[in-house]
A = this chain, B = another copy of it.
Amino acid sequence: MFLERIVSEGLAHFSYLVGSGAKAFVVDPRRDCQVYADLAKREGMRITHIFETHRNEDYAIGSQDLVQLTGAKVLHGPGLDWEYGEELADGQRYRFGGLELEAVHTPGHTYESMSYVLRDTSAGSEPVLAFTGDTLFVGDVGRTDLPGPEHRRKLSELLYDSLHKRLLTLGDGCIIAPAHGAGSVCGGDIADRATSTIGLERTQNPLIRLSKEDFVERKMREILERPPYFSQMEIMNQRRHLPLSGLPVPQPLVPGEFAEAIGSGAVVVDTRLPHSYAGAHTKGSSSIWIDGLPAYAGWLLPYDRPLLLVVEDEQQVERVVRMLVRIGYDNVQGYLRGGMVQWYREGLPYESTKTMDVHELKALMSREEVFVLDPRPHHEWAELHLEGAKHIFVGDMEKHLEEIPKDRPVASMCSVGFRGSMAAALLRERGYDNVAVVIGGVNAWKAAGYPVIEQ
């Protein structure tokens, strides 16, 4: 038995390649799917089946891309209007050498959510491992808010039942292999550990230990951001799309060409760290640091215009492209060759953003009317924030601009500076002239002994 977890950083997405003898299957493949084919080739296996745990919202499903590479058959949960693949029924079983995989319908996160239970028939009939998708994570369970408020209670109840009647019954010794790890937007508090078992979750997962009533209430109260690209993914993941044939390769563009591409309507994503961005950037660019792309690109970048990249080190281009295609941004036209250095070396105009440290902010707050903006997701704000700050999540800022004054200095302050930079860039673009990013953020503020409000 061959089993390998493939991790997509940032998305904290786990997919799996499993094989026995010459046959293999993949659970929840990502878009840049050469990795599965390469591993299978190395192991002398053919990928014959692809199992999807659900339609997914936070990333673009790579099944159609992987079919193109391998000719495998795609299998989904029932009830959705899929334009590709086949629907599974609860209880359906598949053989792969000495392994048997059983589809178990576990609605809750979505109606069609499936788990897949693996048995090693040479060892016994007890389930050895369960691919639990977004139903059960290590230390957390799936969201129930995505299909909409009218479904939420129903889904929360279904989820409770799926967990208790379908998964916990697999036995304490059954290993779980979920679709996400710590850091995913698909869970509020997934543990920073990829490995667990039914037994461990039964005792350690705080949500599993609740009564059904408490569980449903807790899920009804949960506040998690819902990036607008989720809708895009939900559609894309049910439709046929043109499969990737290899990773897109953005062209190296010299400053003149880059400027021209901007002029033709392309959107600039600057993936450098806050200081670099603050120091010099092209007018109108978005500031999303490289590891923040999976979580934030989908809030800020359009799907209908080509993207241009500004990176710190050109060896990062491929990493950026991978992160973008995984959430459906395939049209990455080019990157600035030589980076911002080349841009200003050639005398092209750039913009800067002010930065300040927490001591400057403190001084400023006591002296004048500074507007402190906290653009973090709600749960981070709830945990710890600055007294006197105003919380508007960066993804919602467009709808709340009237709450941010144009006639006062604005200090954009997150936990460290990344989202602060992102929000500041957006405000600059909307005509705010007096915006600064607070470097160090609430963490440094608290470390300096300044007053905070903590959960």
Shortest beta-carbon distance, A261 to chain B, in Å? Answer: 13
A116-124, A221-229, A427-435 - interface stretch: A116-124
Instruction: Output the least CB separation between A72 and chain B (Å).
Output: 12
Pairwise interchain contact A440-B199, C-beta atoms closer than 8 A: no
A443 touching B195, Cβ below 8 Å: no
B443/A347 in contact, CB under 8 A? yes
Given the interface pairs A129-B195, A246-B246, A346-B447, the reply to whether A315 lies near B315 with Cβ below 8 Å is yes
Q: List 8 A-B contacts (CB under 8 A).
A: A22-B253, A128-B193, A128-B200, A173-B201, A174-B200, A273-B341, A345-B416, A346-B447
A345 touches B279 (CB 8 A): no
Given the interface pairs A275-B276, A345-B441, A440-B345, the reply to whether A173 lies near B192 with Cβ below 8 Å is: no
Quote the shortest CB–CB distance from A310 to chain B (angstroms): 12
Question: Which of B203, B245, B253, B350 is close to A126, meaning CB atoms less than 8 Å apart?
Answer: B203
Query: B357 near A350 (CB under 8 angstroms)?
Result: yes
Measured in the bound complex, the distance between the Cα atoms of B173 and A171 in whole Å is 9
Residues from chain B with a CB closer than 8 A to the CB of A174 are 197, 199-200
A279 closest partner in B (C-beta): B275
Task: Please tell me if A232 contacts chain B, counting CB pairs below 8 Å.
Answer: no
Which residues of the partner chain B approach A280 to less than 8 Å between Cβ atoms?
275, 357, 439
In the complex the two chains form, is B341's CB within 8 Å of A416's CB? Answer: yes
Complex formed: what's the CA distance from A199 to B192 in Å? 23
In the assembly, what is the distance between CA of A306 and CA of B448, in Å? 30
Q: Which of B44, B171, B245, B443 contacts A252 (CB 8 A)?
A: B44
Which residues in B have their C-beta under 8 angstroms from that of A312? 273, 276, 312-313
Task: Kindly supply a per-residue 1/0 record for chain A positions 68-84, scoring 1 wherever the CB is within 8 Å of any chain B CB and 0 otherwise.
Answer: 01000000000000000
Given contacts A123-B139, A314-B44, contact A443 B345 (CB under 8 A): yes
CA distance A37 to B312 in the complex (A): 22
A444 to B415, alpha carbons, bound, how many Å?
35
> Shortest 7 CB-CB distances between A and B: which pairs?
A173-B199, A347-B447, A275-B279, A172-B172, A344-B440, A124-B204, A173-B197
Contact indicator B439/A279 (Cβ below 8 Å): yes
B-chain residues with CB within 8 Å of residue A315 when the two chains form the complex: 315
CA distance A115 to B126 in the complex (A): 25
- Given A275-B279, A279-B278: A199 in contact with B196 (beta carbons within 8 A): no
Instruction: Check: A109 CB closer than 8 A to any chain B CB.
Output: no
Interface residue? A375 (CB, 8 A): no
Contacts of A44 in B (CB 8 A): 252, 314, 337-338
A278 surroundings in chain B (CB, below 8 A): 275, 279
